[in-house]
Chains A and B, each alone.
Chain A
Amino acid sequence: MFGLDKKDFRLLLLVAVLVVLAPFLLNPFPEGSAMAQFNAGYPDLMQRFVIFGIFAIGFNILFGLTGYLSFGHAAFLGVGSYAAIWMMKLLTMNVIPAIFVSVIVAGIFSLAVGWISLRRSGIYFSILTLAFAQMSYSLAYSVLTPITGGETGLQPKVTDPRILDGTLANGATPKANLFGLEMGSSFEWSVGGWLFTFNAGYYVAAIVMLVAFYMSIRIFRSPFGMMLRAVKSNQQRLNYTGLNAKPYTLAAFVISGMYAGLAGGLMVAMDTQVGAERMFWTASGEVVLMSILGGVGTLIGPVLGAGAIKYMENILSKINKEILHQWFAFMPDGIEDILVSLVYPFIGKGWHLTLGIIFMLVVIFLPGGLVEGGQRVARLFKRKKPAEDGPDGKTTPAE
């Protein structure tokens, strides 16, 4: 179906079902219960899951297939975001032109960066991309302040031109919308103790993400994808067969830059604000971590990695000492204090520590990332046949 074989189609279907049902799946605990702290089914985080999923999927097309490790991908995300917000300020608050232009602009920028950076390979390539990204960040934060807003970034203002939109009602603020459907509008459903939020913006982003995911499967399975894998396994041999690898790698680079731009455009569509920190090298590092944590070169891995990191960033950091005391309140006083002091360094302001430890554990014990972890668990349950014939690209992580 859709030009996919059975296994891939099943994977796509699985992802689609997960994405559609995310508001339920991510809110497993009733409101007001102690575990509600771990619920992630609120619009902002769900949007971030799919947006960073797109970012990581795109990054994986470059890194997973060709093995070229870009350390400057956040720059494309940032450039896409700036393009999108300017479209919103100048043209219309409708998200379609904003997203469209963000992809185009990021594509052009990545073409320029890729054309130069791909003249080198290995770590030299990584440093070149890093250099471009850091220059973009530094300039956006300082000298380019008139265009980028610098430190305070850009937001839509009531006084913006927005030539396609009608004048706002008095007192109204400009809001991102899709032909009138506001991205921030939600539909809430409470059942028993549970509260489920269905957010318009989330579903718009989710549909885009499914399309992006579908395209990435097609790329993985296409002759073009095969060529990219050939670049990764032995570029020299490829050259000896008379093929020039550069157009292929450049195409992969631009596609992956456009994915990043798409993610940047969606970020603005969901939350109308851009700041230069989005392009800092740690943001580029984050997408590398997402891919590796999830499983490089696998289809679903980067999405899982993106979800895991964003979950930690947003949920762990919000647990404070008082909440801990509530959790352990049933314990005798002395033990409660000991437990709290044992857990405290790892949550709230210590969430970075947990993140670091998890990276180390995953890399040491699960080189194939979370996907490999899932496979190991699956293998434990069905002892039948070792998964040597699993769907290609899903069970063979990066070599």
Chain B
Amino acid sequence: MSKMNLTRRGVLKTGAIAGAGVAAPTIFTAQSAAAFTNEPTGSSVTLGFNVPQTGPYADEGADELRAYELAVEHLNGGGDGGLMNTFSSKALQGNGIMGKKVEYVTGDTQTKSDAARASARSMIEKDGAVMITGGSSSGVAVAVQALCQEAGVIFMAGLTHSNDTTGKDKKANGFRHFFNSYMSGAALAPILANNYGTDRKAYHLTADYNWGYTTEEAVRTSTEAMGWETVAAVKTPLTQTDFSSYIAPVLQSGADVLVLNHYGGNMVNSLTNAVQFGLRDKLVNNKNFEIVVPLYSRLMAKGAGANVKGIFGSTNWHWSLQDEGSKAFVKSFGTKYGFPPSQAAHTCYVQAMLYADAVERAGSFNPCAVAEALEGFEFDGMGNGPTLYRAEDHQCFKDVLVVKGKENPTSEFDLLEIVEVTPVSQVTYDASIFGGELGSCNPGA
């Protein structure tokens, strides 16, 4: 007897296999009965969590993975339900997604676009994942997003801050909850002007790759609009570990603010070096010399140690927020793992929840239906206040946090304090300013 393999792995996994024999094969990219790539047909659905497990961002990846495991637990009805209790949409029941138990596969992006795509492809081709999420850099996010567009699955970006992800490289199958460089600049500038005055001279050190360029651009434009002057902007190689030769000339330039457009290991080292040079003890133009880090994360703050004290930056979310959503998330994460979640963990958890909710509301796992449910979706209770998933570029619009390194931390997690929650209206921009073409959604098959 023969059997048509119409629906890929789902059928096989449930064991509904009639028996051996000569099969009548089909070509799945041509018209087959499956409506879209990896349509789940059994009692479970597989999600792919693609995070850096080796390389410099491994700790961030580990935190993302913890968040995903927590999200899966909550979706399947375990634990305390976490953010499902505070989420404004009540479509999720705690019985999996559309009654299907949520299962997951994990992979290692190595923070390299090739490895990330290989891992994502294996999830799609081998494990039958219907959604890919995670990642810790914009290079990886853009590469995997393009892959998911081609393969016909949904991509829910993890930590990626470059404007490109939902700007010039946006794709119809890709969605980003995290904020971006533009929003960082727009949120930071008024706070900087309030604290440091409007007649500052800024010196930029910029990581020499796409994310660095967009961040420098964003901070420059928004601070210059406040009256600041940009004295110089120097690009530093990604592989640089010792920034002394870039920091030493800063004082000579007559600048009185140093902006470090660096992330990860670069940021830890450049900030450490800048503080080492004693820049913050100096008086230039009769003003205290200041340092600014546009994008902060708690793990980086931990790496830089005491050097972050008093330094301004922006962040997507912080565990010390006091709204109901944030408190609920910190409680269930903290109870399970013993320490508060990072912003990477938060955005990944929220992305998984938003995806599940969109599937429930759409009543289908079809990427096109899910995308439609996410586009223009307004929600609340996820920790960032009222949020909009904008239809034009699949970017979330929500409040942005401006934070400062805490002077007297009480624990190794208590490193940042919230200075201001910049309202969403202040960081919203026109969807067309970064170019790019969203295209139309691709369900695969």
Contacts and interface: CB of A to CB of B under 8 A. Distances in A.
A151 B210 contact: yes
A48 B119 CA distance: 12
A352 B30 contact: no
- Which among A32, A171, A184, A188 has the highest number of chain B CB atoms within 10 Å? A188
A189 B5 contact: yes
A188 B237 CA distance: 46
B93 interface: no
Contact of B122 (A182, A190, A277, A314): A314
B107 A31 contact: no
Interface string A168-200: 001101010000001011111111110101000
Nearest to B27: A187
A158 B169 CA distance: 11
A273 interface: yes
Contact of B439 (A44, A171, A349): A171
Contacts of A121: none
Contact of A278 (B3, B114, B162): B114
B5 A173 contact: no
B143 interface: yes
Contacts of B62: 349
Contacts of A184: 29, 150-151
Contacts of B5: 188-190, 195
Given A151-B139, A152-B169, A158-B437, A313 B115 contact: yes
Nearest to A43: B125
B238 A142 contact: yes
A191 B143 contact: no
Interface string B129-163: 00000000111001100110111000000000010
A272 B27 CA distance: 21
Nearest to A267: B114
B150 A190 contact: no
Name the residue among B12, B114, B137, B442 with the largest chain A CB count within 10 angstroms: B114
A273 B143 contact: yes
A294 to B, nearest CB: 20
A192 B15 CA distance: 10
Majority SS at the chain A contact face: mixed
Given A32-B15, A173-B439, A187 B53 contact: no
Contacts of A141: 208-209, 238
Interface stretch (B16-24, B74-82, B84-92, B412-420): B16-24
Nearest to B72: A322
Interface in B312-346: none
Interface string B99-119: 000000111100011110111
Contacts of A182: 29
B121 interface: yes
A195 B142 CA distance: 31
A190 B12 contact: yes
B21 A191 contact: yes
A318 B112 CA distance: 16
A50 to B, nearest CB: 14
Contacts of A320: 105-106
A138 B150 contact: no
B53 A349 contact: yes
A297 interface: no
A142 B138 contact: no
B288 interface: no
B215 to A, nearest CB: 12
Contacts of B252: none
A338 B118 CA distance: 32
B84 to A, nearest CB: 21
A256 B430 CA distance: 50
Nearest to B439: A158
A32 B13 contact: yes
Nearest to B107: A318
Nearest to A156: B146
B239 interface: yes
B121 A44 contact: yes
Contact of B211 (A151, A153, A190, A192): A151
A89 to B, nearest CB: 13
B54 A349 contact: yes
Contact of B25 (A31, A187, A273, A278): A187
Interface string A263-287: 0000000011101011000000000
Nearest to A310: B118
A379 interface: no
B164 interface: yes
Contacts of A186: 27-29
Contacts of B17: 190, 192-193
Interface in B172-225: 208-211, 213
Contact of B117 (A42, A191, A271): A271
A348 interface: yes
Nearest to B139: A151
Nearest to A316: B108
B391 interface: no
B58 interface: yes
Contact of A273 (B9, B113, B442): B113
B432 interface: no
Contacts of B95: none
Interface string B405-443: 000000000000000000000000000000001011010
Nearest to A317: B108
B106 A348 contact: yes
Contact of B146 (A171, A197, A273): A273
A351 B238 contact: no
Contacts of B213: 145
B264 to A, nearest CB: 13
A191 B28 CA distance: 16
A34 interface: no
> Which of A143, A153, A157, A175 gathers most chain B CB within 10 Å?
A153
Nearest to B106: A320
B398 interface: no
B126 A42 contact: yes
A195 B238 CA distance: 43
A348 B143 contact: no
B208 A153 contact: no
A189 B53 contact: no
A296 to B, nearest CB: 25
Contacts of B19: 192
Contact of A153 (B61, B119, B142): B142
A314 B150 CA distance: 21
B26 interface: yes
B118 A44 contact: yes
A162 to B, nearest CB: 15
A159 interface: yes
Nearest to A282: B112
Interface string B337-361: 0000000000000000000000000
A195 B15 CA distance: 12
Contacts of A313: 115, 118
A311 B381 CA distance: 43
A142 B206 CA distance: 11
Interface in A42-61: 42-45, 48
B114 A317 contact: no
B8 to A, nearest CB: 7
14 contacts: A42-B121, A43-B125, A145-B213, A175-B150, A191-B20, A191-B22, A191-B23, A192-B20, A195-B5, A271-B118, A273-B117, A277-B114, A314-B119, A318-B106
Given A273-B114, A275-B112, 9 more contacts: A32-B12, A45-B126, A142-B208, A153-B139, A173-B442, A184-B151, A191-B21, A313-B118, A351-B108
